Amino acid sequence: MLVAGGWLAWQGPPAVPTLIPTAHVGLLPVTNTPRPIPTTATPWPSPSPNPSPTSSPTPVPPTAIPTETPAVSPTPSLTPLPTALALALTPGQPQPYLARFRLVTYYGSPLGPDLGILGANPRPVMLQELRGVVAQYQTLSPDRYVLPTFHIVSTVADAYPGDYGTYNHWMSMETLSDWVTAAEEAGVAVVLDIQPGHASIPYEFKRIKEFLYKPHVHLALDSEFTMEGDQVPGRNLGQIYASQINPIQAELNVIAQETGLNKVFIIHQFETSMVRGKEFIEDYPYVELVFDADGFGGPQAKTRDYSQYVGEPAFEYGGLKLFYNWDSPLLTPAEVMSLEPQPAVIVYQ
d(C-alpha 1, C-alpha 300), whole Å: 42
Q: What SS3 class is residue 25?
A: coil
Give the model's pLDDT for residue 343.
98
Give the model's pLDDT for residue 108.
95
Give the model's pLDDT for residue 233.
93
CB atoms within 10 A of CB 93: 11
CB atoms within 10 A of CB 130: 20
Residue-wise pLDDT for 92-135, tens only, equals: 999 999 999 999 999 999 988 888 999 899 999 999 999 999 99
d(C-alpha 248, C-alpha 251), whole Å: 5
Domains of the chain: 2-32+83-348 (3.20.20)
Residue 94 near residue 257 (C-beta atoms within 8 A): yes
Residue 30 near residue 213 (C-beta atoms within 8 A): no
d(C-alpha 73, C-alpha 101), whole Å: 28
How, if at all, do strands 168-170 and 145-157 pair? Answer: antiparallel
Residue 89 near residue 215 (C-beta atoms within 8 A): yes
Residue stretches of the chain with pLDDT short of 70: 1-86
Q: Which of 153, 163, 158, 162 is nearest to 193 (CA)?
A: 153
Q: Read off the DSSP letter of residue 144.
A: S
Q: What angle do CA 193, 197, 200 make, to 5 degrees?
A: 85
Q: What SS3 class is residue 349?
A: coil
Residue 321 near residue 107 (C-beta atoms within 8 A): yes
Residue-wise pLDDT for 205-229, tens only, equals: 999 999 999 999 999 999 999 999 9
Whole-prediction pTM:
0.78
Give the model's pLDDT for residue 85.
58
Q: Read off the DSSP letter of residue 13.
A: -
- Is the four-CA dihedral 134, 349, 98, 338 of positive or negative sign? positive
Give the model's pLDDT for residue 115.
87
